[in-house]
C-alpha cells in the first residue's frame, strides 16, 4: 500500500509522550508544514495517557533550570499549546496497566521481551481517536492520516530492525511506512512517518546492525542538546524534569527498564512502587525472572540519585 505524504494528508497526528523524541518530532513536523504551506489546523497532538503510570509534576528542587516541572501529560499539552495545535488526551479508564499484565499467563510480570499489553493499550486508544477525527472530517472518500512518531533507530536493536523494515526514506530523511493495523477498508488510510529515524547517524541502519553504547549515548546527547537549544531560543518546554534522573520519560515502571533504572524510579515514586509490590505479592508473580519489586524497593533505599554510575541502560524496545 502506498504511503500518504504530508501535503496530501487530511490529518497529521503526532503521537506524544511529552518526552524529548516526541517534542523534536513535533518541531520537525511543524517546520515542515510551514515550509510546505500546510495549515497547522491539520496537525493534532495525541497523548495516550496511562494514568498512574505517568510522571507527576516535580516537587521541591527536583527540576533543574532549563527543564519543565510539569507532569508528562501536562507537558505534552503545553508543547501542543505552544504551537497552537489541537491536543487530545486519550485514556482507557476501564483497565489499568497492572491489570493488563495480570492477564498474562506467565509467572513473571515482565516475562518476555516486550509489553504487548501496554502497547495495545496505547495503540487501541489512539485508533479510537482516529475514528472520532475521521467522523468530524465527514469526507466523501477515505481520510488520509499521517501518524508522526518520534522513533529513533539508535534507541534499541528492536527499533533499529523496525525502522529498517520501513518502506522508504524521503528527501528529508524521514522514514515512512503504511500502518495496516490502523487503516480500514473504507474510511481511512494511515501512514507512519518518523522524522528522527536516523537521528545522529550517517545513514539508515540495516536490520540486525548493532551500534555501540558510545554511539548510542552520542545520539541521545544530540537529541537533548537540540531540545535544550530549541527551549533556549523559543521558550518551548522541551525537556521534562525527569531527565535529571532517568534517560527517558517512559512509564514509571517501564518493562524495558533495568533494575538500576527501576530503583531510580522507585526512589522518586515510593508510594506507587509500594503498591505495585503489594500487587506483585497478591498475584504470586514476580516482576521479572531475576528480581522482584521488593528487591527494587530495597535497592532504592540505599540509592543516591545523584550518583550517575548506577545501571542506567535501557532494554530492547520494539
Binding interface with ligand SF4 (CB under 6 A): 115, 118-119, 122, 250-251, 254-256, 317
The H or E element that residue 262 is part of is helix 259-268
Closest approach, Cβ 210 to ligand SF4, in A, equals: 21
Task: Tally the residues of the chain.
Answer: 318
Q: Give, as one character, the DSSP assignment of residue 142.
A: -
Closest approach, Cβ 13 to ligand SF4, in A, equals: 18
Closest approach, Cβ 283 to ligand SF4, in A, equals: 17
Closest approach, Cβ 250 to ligand SF4, in A, equals: 4
**Residue 118 or 240 with smaller CB distance to ligand SF4:** 118
**Residue 33 or 197 with smaller CB distance to ligand SF4:** 197
11 touches 190 (CB < 8 A): no
310 touches 266 (CB < 8 A): no
Q: Give, as one character, the DSSP assignment of residue 12.
A: E
SS3 content of the chain, % helix, strand, coil (to 5): 45, 15, 45
With CA atoms as reference, report the closest residue to 149 among 159, 140, 139, 138. 159
Closest approach, Cβ 257 to ligand SF4, in A, equals: 8
**Residue 69 or 315 with smaller CB distance to ligand SF4:** 315
CA–CA dist 218, 220 (Å, integer): 5
User: How far is the CA of 222 from the CAs of 63, 199, 218, in angstroms?
Assistant: 21, 8, 6
Closest approach, Cβ 132 to ligand SF4, in A, equals: 22
**Residue 236 or 255 with smaller CB distance to ligand SF4:** 255
**Residue 43 or 149 with smaller CB distance to ligand SF4:** 149
Cell numbers describing residue 214: 558510545
311 touches 259 (CB < 8 A): yes
Residue with cell 533550570: 65
User: Chain centroid to CA 209: how far?
Assistant: 23
Report CA torsion sign: 190, 155, 198, 22. positive
Closest approach, Cβ 269 to ligand SF4, in A, equals: 14
**Residue 10 or 147 with smaller CB distance to ligand SF4:** 147
Amino acid at each position: 500500500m502506498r504511503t500518504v505524504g504530508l501535503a496530501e494528508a487530511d490529518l497529521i497526528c503526532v503521537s506524544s509522550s511529552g518526552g524529548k523524541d516526541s517534542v523534536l518530532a513535533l518541531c520537525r513536523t511543524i517546520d515542515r508544514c510551514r515550509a510546505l504551506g500546510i495549515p497547522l489546523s491539520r496537525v493534532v497532538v495525541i497523548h495516550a495517557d496511562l494514568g498512574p503510570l505517568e510522571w507527576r509534576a516535580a516537587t521541591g528542587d527536583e527540576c533543574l533550570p532549563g527543564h519543565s516541572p510539569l507532569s508528562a501529560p501536562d507537558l505534552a499539552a503545553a508543547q501542543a499549546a505552544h504551537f497552537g495545535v489541537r491536543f487530545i488526551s486519550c485514556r482507557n479508564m476501564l483497565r489499568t496497566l497492572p491489570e493488563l499484565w495480570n492477564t498474562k499467563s506467565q509467572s513473571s510480570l515482565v516475562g518476555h521481551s516486550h509489553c504487548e499489553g501496554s502497547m495495545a493499550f496505547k495503540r487501541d486508544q489512539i485508533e479510537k481517536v482516529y475514528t472520532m477525527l475521521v467522523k468530524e472530517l465527514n469526507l466523501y472518500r477515505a481520510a488520509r492520516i499521517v501518524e508522526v512518531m518520534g522513533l529513533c533507530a539508535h534507541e534499541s536493536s528492536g527499533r533499529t530492525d523496525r525502522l529498517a523494515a520501513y518502506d522508504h526514506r524521503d528527501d528529508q530523511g524521514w522514514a515512512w511506512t503504511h500502518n495496516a493495523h490502523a487503516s480500514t477498508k473504507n474510511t481511512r488510510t494511515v501512514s507512519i512517518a518518523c522524522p528522527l529515524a536516523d537521528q545522529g547517524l550517517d545513514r539508515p541502519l540495516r536490520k540486525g546492525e548493532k551500534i555501540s553504547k558510545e554511539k548510542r549515548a552520542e545520539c541521545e546527547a544530540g537529541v537533548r542538546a537540540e531540545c535544550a537549544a530549541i527551549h533556549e531560543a523559543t521558550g518551548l518546554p522541551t525537556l521534562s524534569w525527569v531527565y535529571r534522573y532517568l534517560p527517558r520519560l517512559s512509564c514509571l515502571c517501564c518493562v524495558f527498564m533495568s533494575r538500576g533504572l527501576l530503583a531510580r524510579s522507585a526512589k522518586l515514586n515510593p508510594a506507587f512502587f509500594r503498591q505495585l509490590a503489594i500487587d506483585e505479592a497478591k498475584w504470586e508473580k514476580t516482576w521479572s525472572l531475576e528480581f522482584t519489586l521488593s528487591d527494587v524497593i530495597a535497592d532504592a533505599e540505599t540509592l543516591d540519585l545523584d550518583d550517575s554510575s548506577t545501571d542506567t541502560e535501557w532494554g530492547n524496545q520494539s
